[in-house]
Amino acid sequence: MNAMWKSTKRILESSLNPGLYQVWIKPLSAEIDGEEMTVIAPNPFVASWVKERLMDAIIEAATQVVGFRPRLSVQASSEQKPRAVMSVQETVHGMEQLHLPVHQDPVSTRDIFRFSFDDFVVGPCNELAYAASQDICRKHYAADQLYLCSSPGLGKTHLLQAIGASMASKQNIAKKRVVYLTAEEFASRMVMALKTKEIERFKSFFRENVDMLLLEDIHFFQGKMKLQDELLNTINALNSRGCKVVFTSSFLPKELNGVDSQLSSRFNAGFLAVIDKPDMPTRLHILNRKAQSLQIQVPGEVAELMAGRITSDIRQLESCLHNLILKARLLKRNITAELAMQVLKNYNTDPDNLSMNQIVQFICNTYDTSVEQLRSKSRKRQFVLARNTAFFLARKHTELSLQDIGHQFNRRHSTVIKGITTIERHMSMKTPLGRELEKTLDKLTA
């Protein structure tokens, strides 16, 4: 079972956010008896969090390993006593570790930073964000705060991790303490600290023992006022110490709703860099660079075909290339346009000039709803999912503002943001719903 669980964890590590894996999956162990699988967490809080948010992901990964869909339960270990939620106790290569009630360093180890500046392809769409990201790593920087904004899959996570990798390099590692995590992970740690009466230790760590805070997906804080208060105080404390903070989000600060005015002002205080959709030459450069790193030569016509079909998500474009190369190797065939077309059928290629009316019609046909039901006040799950998917597609394929998208469905722009965030979260975490959504979106170009 130990080998099976290791294989399951490897699948989860490749499919989940690195911080999410390090904090919640890595400390788990598991036992299997027939078709029953028991996952063991180090304490009740971790068990509860995993049970609420990661059950489906674990089941799907385990199914790939054991060959059947196990019945999963999660329980806390009765043999381990919870340790202090967060404390700076050890130093690894000069970087101080953040300890949870597990034996990991989930936020500040160099292993988390998988991307670097060297493997980032620069084009007109991202050259400002790239320059700003490099600049904040230098000793003398015009501002101590950077806000990176883009749609999913365009490189903001790559740049954030490149900043972390640069700051954690041999030249800087003895001088700077870097913490990298998502907004949701920050919130989870704060909740854990409150539950175990370690909130002062939590505050002390983030305010006094961090030199650079890298925080992803800050739109998660919308409407969460207590979390916003703590984040604002943390940022102010870091600012007063001359420390640096980098945020990422799928939305501009002005598009966020349910955010305290002081925090909103703080988000706008530093340098704002937006990453746009890459043009054709940049997409071709990305494909060729990736193929070169894999020591594969992709014919020009094949690269142009792929770059012409997948235009708004670089992560998806690179995945398509990986699958094309793997298919060619498995079938012992050359990489051709015909083979590329077969692979492209599995991806959500980008249609040209997709209108809001086309999106609405697609949603109505897919979810068996009417325009009136989409615009109604009904909160039935089917209608909410349909609306959220429409919000996501409209944001991705049209130039409409969040307010204009919301107007199409009698909704406020804050509802649109929440819906888009929900869709992105399920897709990025590869939950069963996320995979179902990917299949649904594939139908748009089928």
pLDDT tens for 265-285 read 999 888 999 999 898 999 999
The most distant pair of C-alpha atoms in the chain lies apart, rounded to whole Å, by 61
What number is the average pLDDT over the span 23-33? 85
pLDDT at 14 exceeding the cut of 80 = no
Residue 3 tokens, joined: 């080998």
Any residues with CB less than 8 A from the CB of 51 and at least 6 apart, and which? 74
What number is the average pLDDT over the span 380-404? 88
Query: Which class in CATH covers the domain with range 2-76?
Result: alpha beta
Q: Which helix (H) or strand (E) is 400 found in, with range?
A: none
Residue 96 tokens, joined: 């101080």
Does the pTM exceed 0.75? no
Q: Using CA atoms, how far apart are residues 181 and 54, in angstroms rounded to an integer?
A: 17
Any residues with CB less than 8 A from the CB of 148 and at least 6 apart, and which? 129, 132, 133, 156, 159, 160, 246, 247, 248, 249, 273, 275
- Tell which residue, 253, 279, 256, has the closest CA to residue 266: 253
Q: Which helix (H) or strand (E) is 42 found in, with range?
A: none
Q: Using CA atoms, how far apart are residues 12 and 62, in angstroms rounded to an integer?
A: 9
Tokens 């007063």 correspond to: 240
Average pLDDT, the chain: 82
Residue 248 near residue 216, CB atoms below 8 Å: yes
Domain 91-274: what homologous superfamily?
P-loop containing nucleotide triphosphate hydrolases (3.40.50.300)
Convert 121-158 to b/e letters by CB count within 10 Å (16 or more is b): bebebbebbbebbbebbeeebeebbbbbbbbbbbbbbb
Any bridge partners for residue 213, and if so which? 179, 245
What number is the average pLDDT over the span 328-352? 84
| DSSP output for 424-445 | HHHHHTT-HHHHHHHHHHHGGG
Q: Using CA atoms, how far apart are residues 75 and 302, in angstroms rounded to an integer?
A: 50
Q: Using CA atoms, how far apart are residues 433 and 90, in angstroms rounded to an integer?
A: 40
Q: Using CA atoms, how far apart are residues 134 and 345, in angstroms rounded to an integer?
A: 37
Residue 325 near residue 294, CB atoms below 8 Å: yes
Residue 106 tokens, joined: 């989930």
Query: pLDDT value at position 112?
Result: 64
- Best CATH choice for the domain 356-445 from the list 1.10.10.60, 1.20.200.10, 1.10.1750.10, 3.40.710.10: 1.10.1750.10
Query: pLDDT value at position 53?
Result: 80
| Residues of each domain in the chain carrying CATH 3.40.50.300 | 91-274
| Residues of each domain in the chain carrying CATH 1.10.1750.10 | 356-445
| Residues of each domain in the chain carrying CATH 3.30.300.180 | 2-76
- Tell which residue, 446, 373, 365, 364, has the closest CA to residue 409: 373
pLDDT at 91 exceeding the cut of 50 = no
Query: CA of 47: how far to CAs of 12, 226, 295, in Å?
Result: 17, 24, 43
Q: Using CA atoms, how far apart are residues 310 and 320, in angstroms rounded to an integer?
A: 9
Query: pLDDT value at position 78?
Result: 59
280-344 belongs to CATH 1.10.8.60 = yes
pLDDT band per the 50, 70, 90 thresholds, residue 424: confident
Q: How many CB atoms lie within 10 A of CB 314?
A: 26
Query: pLDDT value at position 61?
Result: 85
**Secondary structure tally for the chain: helices H, strands E:** 20, 10
pLDDT band per the 50, 70, 90 thresholds, residue 445: low
Residue 211 near residue 94, CB atoms below 8 Å: no
| Residues of each domain in the chain carrying CATH 1.10.8.60 | 280-344
pLDDT tens, residue by residue, 182-209: 898 899 889 888 888 889 989 999 998 8
pLDDT tens, residue by residue, 205-223: 999 889 899 999 999 998 8
